[in-house]
Structure 1
Amino acid sequence: MSTTLIWFTEDLRLGDNPLLSFESPPEALLCVYLLSPEQLVPPGEGLDWPRMGAPRRRFLWQSLIALRGELLKRGSDLLVRVGEPVATLAELVATHGVDEVRVRVPASQERGEQLARLAETLPGGVRLRPREGGTLLEEAALPFAPEALPASFSAFRRRVEAACRVEAPRPAAITLPPWPRDASRGLPPLVEVCGRAHRWRPDPRGGFEYHGGEAQGLARLAAVCREGGTIARYKQTRNGLLGADFSTRLSPWLALGCLSARQVHRAVRDWEAAYGANDSSYWVIFELWWRDYFFWAARQEGRGLFGPRRLPPPDAAFEAWRRGDTGLPFVDAAMRELAATGWLSNRARQNVASFLVKDLGVDWRLGAAWFEHALVDYDVASNWGNWRYVAGVGRDPRGDRYFNLLRQARHYDARGDYVAHWLPALAELPAGLGRHQPWRLAPEHFSPPRVVPEAWRHEMIDPQECRS
């Protein structure tokens, strides 16, 4: 009996999933998701938090439950294991007489090294077939060799927009080959995957609750692309800070592969056909190109994506930053939102990253590692690529990507509504810029932030004007 093993990774969907597309279907199909123990332990010495935090574990568990349900409807099933991937896969291959192992081509060198070890471990005659998927473009469609990836996103975007056509997403399979006879199936106990994370719930002040799974992702996509939905005004609202619909909020489903980039692209094009293209609909696709760029950059960077291997020990400045206790409301509100909800707007992410690296002088890798833990939508290529970008290292290494936090606060939260939302003590102050500089407006109640850079000098408020 021919048996194919599907190793699900960041592709927890049936629609537009090339792993489930067969020219000649096998007689049996073994679908597997493996949670590596490395994801459940700290990323370095002196750090007391696991790489995968509660929001992502919860979302992952929901997504796996949903994936199993869809596989069962089509005559298959899902096996979830917690274990070292190469050894676990080798055991499954030997136990069930697997002929072929399919897996998504990874972005990170870490997963790539696992595939290399797996290829060495598999017995002769067993084929390892990495398949592309999840991005707008596959390697053969790029107008350049991957190693010739343009150094900047702008150059990349110009090349691909001029030369490339995004293929339509593949429909989901209607039926799938049956489960191998006598093979174990199902999920381990909830606590083994989630630990205490199954008790975690997002703070309702976030205004939006993520639920994992393909159906949930498609429902959100439909809401974004309905008549008058987020897509109609996205370019004007994308830098917002409060509310459910200033952003598409599709990133968690894209990160775990409950949605593919091509499915989002197709939905946007369908909306444009119905209601007319505009700057906002283009901007959603623009950001999908950013996602593709980070994927191909991560493939090229290899281990260099993460910087030097060993993380530095955290210092007091980093601890204050991650707790949201720096004394600067625009940063502290964002970091508390992140801890309470697992999500943060793109504008807030850029600001807190710049503050950590440029103002507090903390190693950017600690910030990237904390985001890996805290984000429900953690994506290895986008997360580490964005942190490198802000820090001015790696590709397009300009050092002038400095965010003046007081100027940013003036522009994006002039009334101080966002900071007062997450730091209730500030709600007692008059609405306005004084909420961003409470140490000047009410020095008897608020201490200055850990740092007050010279660059902020021209943004300082006159306390008398704010009180009047």
Structure 2
Amino acid sequence: MSRTTVVLFTRDLRVRDHPALADACRNSGRVVPLFVLDEKILRGPFASPNRGMFLGEALADLRESLRERGGDLLVRAGDPVEEALRVACEVGAERVVCSADVTAFARRRERRLDRACEEAGLELGLFPGVTVVPAGDLRTGGGGHHQVFTPYWRAWEAATWRSVVRAPERVEVPTGLAPGSLPSRTDLTCGGETSPNLPKGGESAARARLDAYARQRTDAGSLDRENLAADQTTRLSPYLHFGCVSPLTVATRLRGSAEDVVRQLCWRDFYHQVTACFPGIARQDLRPRRREWVSDAGDAIEAWRAGRTGVPIVDAGMRQLLAEGWMHNRARLVVGSFLTKQLGVDWRVGAAHFFRWLVDGDVANNAGNWQWVAGTGNDTRPNRVLNPLRQAARFDPDGDYVRRYVPELAGIDGAAVHEPWKLPEDVRRGLDYPELLIDPVPRRTG
């Protein structure tokens, strides 16, 4: 078997359950794993120093995994299509393969790669792996994509999933190739500020986290994922975004023992199939509601970003984001509803801030969730408003989550932490905490 295949990695940075890599190793004598540092991503509108840091660790881990199998990871900088064709020409490859994706950016890259391969006489192979069920596989009775989650969930549960693919035992790389240096911190962050408590990137860290969570579910029987202070979520979302673990691996591992997590993976697939059919989801309203967003909320937006609105549950979520590059999903819903439904700020402002800081900042999920909470997306109740006080009482009843991220309120006992404006005046004077930005009780509550 003499042919050579270039495997172009994008956001699938793993060796296990990687259909494109497995196919290349099975059907080619030589394989060239390639990652291209794309300036349009590292310095474009969706750039994030936090994701840059995570990416650097993920690439280092991927290179180590490939070297353990006799291979290596080539690292180049520039345009992925041009570099893939350059490497293919250098090694005399007959084929380029990669994982199919759904965003407008990724699909443009795939179309360009398809044209370039055709012109160069190369075969292009696109493989699944970014979602559990490929985005176009599940259709409504009328042949369109699903716009409501529950019918999609039923179809998704009934679908036949592909089998998890084993990691290749050997990766035979052509001799004489310069692997290239891994990017530096400066290359990846462009000098931007990073959060102090970021998760460690890479497939090894992802598998360790999944193993620990699976054991925890086995030992505990059930966990309260919605309890903000308990923090009993998987925290796998950054690893899923970068493909350090495949969503199919997680779903297969936890199916039957953690159906709540499996359902969240279905939500992830749901937004990917929505994005595949509506590639403008990050910038355009999925369902325009003719809503007029406020145009003079600059100070309020800055207070929201900094976690100084005076509403503790909102401020705790926003400060967690700045500290960890991550936020509990329940808190994401609360802070999103507060910004869009109570402050009246365009959801795109919130989505941009999340994209700046979230390690798991994903176009499909981030934009889909923001549009859901803003009432312009797939929520069947577009006027839903989440009352932050009710949400705090239900999901942080003892105030531990707030005290963890808002140290100014650490000395306030119990649920009183959620309504500091009701404390005696002498107590309030001793707090270095902002006055209420807005009445936290919305007209419509949820």
| Alpha-carbon separation, structure 2, partners of 1:365 and 1:416 | 30
On the 8 A contact 1:28/1:179 being kept in 2, the answer is: yes
Q: Counterpart of 1:346 in structure 2: which amino acid?
A: N
Alignment-derived partner of residue 151 in structure 2: 155
| Alpha-carbon separation, structure 1, partners of 2:185 and 2:141 | 44
On the 8 A contact 1:254/1:260 being kept in 2, the answer is: yes
Alpha-carbon spacing, 1:449–1:155, altered in 2? closer, same or farther (3 Å): same
Q: Summarize deviations over 1:296-338 as a string: whole Å, max 9, x none.
A: 1111111244317xxx998322222111121211111111111
Moved more, 151-160 or 129-138: 129-138
Alignment-derived partner of residue 292 in structure 1: 269
If the length of structure 1 is used for normalisation, what is the TM-score? 0.84
Alignment-derived partner of residue 120 in structure 2: 124
On the 8 A contact 1:31/1:79 being kept in 2, the answer is: yes
Query: What secondary structure is seen at the aligned counterpart in 1 of 2:376?
Result: coil
Pair 1:219-2:208 in alignment: yes
Q: CA RMSD in A?
A: 2.9
Structure 1: any 5+ residue segments left out of the alignment? 44-50, 204-208, 460-468
Q: Summarize deviations over 1:351-378 as a string: whole Å, max 9, x none.
A: 0111111111111012112111211122
Query: What secondary structure is seen at the aligned counterpart in 1 of 2:125?
Result: strand
On the 8 A contact 1:224/1:231 being kept in 2, the answer is: no
Moved more, 341-350 or 20-29: 20-29
| Alpha-carbon separation, structure 2, partners of 1:320 and 1:419 | 17
| Alpha-carbon separation, structure 2, partners of 1:458 and 1:192 | 45
Q: Summarize deviations over 1:272-314 as a string: whole Å, max 9, x none.
A: 4xxxx5xxx2212111111111111111111244317xxx998
Alignment-derived partner of residue 393 in structure 1: 376
- 1:450 maps to which of 433, 437, 444: 437
Query: What secondary structure is seen at the aligned counterpart in 2 of 1:112?
Result: helix
| Alpha-carbon separation, structure 2, partners of 1:243 and 1:117 | 46
On the 8 A contact 1:76/1:178 being kept in 2, the answer is: yes
- 2:334 maps to which of 347, 351, 367: 351
| Alpha-carbon separation, structure 2, partners of 1:325 and 1:351 | 15
On the 8 A contact 1:13/1:259 being kept in 2, the answer is: yes
Alignment-derived partner of residue 240 in structure 2: 254
Alpha-carbon spacing, 1:458–1:124, altered in 2? closer, same or farther (3 Å): closer
Query: What secondary structure is seen at the aligned counterpart in 1 of 2:222?
Result: helix
Alpha-carbon spacing, 1:84–1:458, altered in 2? closer, same or farther (3 Å): closer
Alignment-derived partner of residue 463 in structure 1: none
Query: What secondary structure is seen at the aligned counterpart in 2 of 1:148?
Result: coil
Q: Counterpart of 1:133 in structure 2: which amino acid?
A: G
Alignment-derived partner of residue 95 in structure 2: 100
Alpha-carbon spacing, 1:6–1:327, altered in 2? closer, same or farther (3 Å): same
Moved more, 15-24 or 380-389: 15-24
Pair 1:240-2:241 in alignment: no
Q: Counterpart of 1:380 in structure 2: which amino acid?
A: V
- 1:39 maps to which of 38, 41, 44: 41
Q: Counterpart of 1:264 in structure 2: which amino acid?
A: V
Query: What secondary structure is seen at the aligned counterpart in 1 of 2:391?
Result: helix
| Alpha-carbon separation, structure 1, partners of 2:445 and 2:138 | 46
Alpha-carbon spacing, 1:89–1:317, altered in 2? closer, same or farther (3 Å): farther
- 1:416 maps to which of 383, 390, 399: 399
Pair 1:188-2:189 in alignment: no
| Alpha-carbon separation, structure 1, partners of 2:424 and 2:84 | 61
On the 8 A contact 1:96/1:183 being kept in 2, the answer is: no
Pair 1:6-2:1 in alignment: no
If the length of structure 2 is used for normalisation, what is the TM-score? 0.87
Query: What secondary structure is seen at the aligned counterpart in 2 of 1:191?
Result: helix
Deviation of 1:436 (Å): 1.8
On the 8 A contact 2:203/2:239 being kept in 1, the answer is: yes
Deviation of 1:143 (Å): 5.8
On the 8 A contact 1:81/1:188 being kept in 2, the answer is: no
Pair 1:173-2:156 in alignment: no
Q: Counterpart of 2:116 in structure 1: which amino acid?
A: T
| Alpha-carbon separation, structure 2, partners of 1:86 and 1:316 | 43
Alignment-derived partner of residue 465 in structure 1: none
Q: Counterpart of 2:245 in structure 1: which amino acid?
A: L
| Alpha-carbon separation, structure 2, partners of 1:66 and 1:409 | 39
Deviation of 1:63 (Å): 0.9
Q: Counterpart of 1:284 in structure 2: which amino acid?
A: V
Moved more, 331-340 or 297-306: 297-306
Q: Summarize deviations over 1:363-408 as a string: whole Å, max 9, x none.
A: 1012112111211122221111111111111334632221011111
| Alpha-carbon separation, structure 2, partners of 1:103 and 1:191 | 27
- 1:438 maps to which of 420, 423, 432: 420
Query: What secondary structure is seen at the aligned counterpart in 1 of 2:52?
Result: helix
Deviation of 1:195 (Å): 4.2
Query: What secondary structure is seen at the aligned counterpart in 2 of 1:101?
Result: strand
| Alpha-carbon separation, structure 1, partners of 2:445 and 2:374 | 24
Alpha-carbon spacing, 1:319–1:84, altered in 2? closer, same or farther (3 Å): farther
Structure 2: any 5+ residue segments left out of the alignment? 286-294
Q: Counterpart of 2:88 in structure 1: which amino acid?
A: V
| Alpha-carbon separation, structure 1, partners of 2:439 and 2:281 | 33
Q: Summarize deviations over 1:56-94 as a string: whole Å, max 9, x none.
A: 222211111010001111121112233233333343334
Query: What secondary structure is seen at the aligned counterpart in 2 of 1:32?
Result: strand
On the 8 A contact 1:29/1:180 being kept in 2, the answer is: no
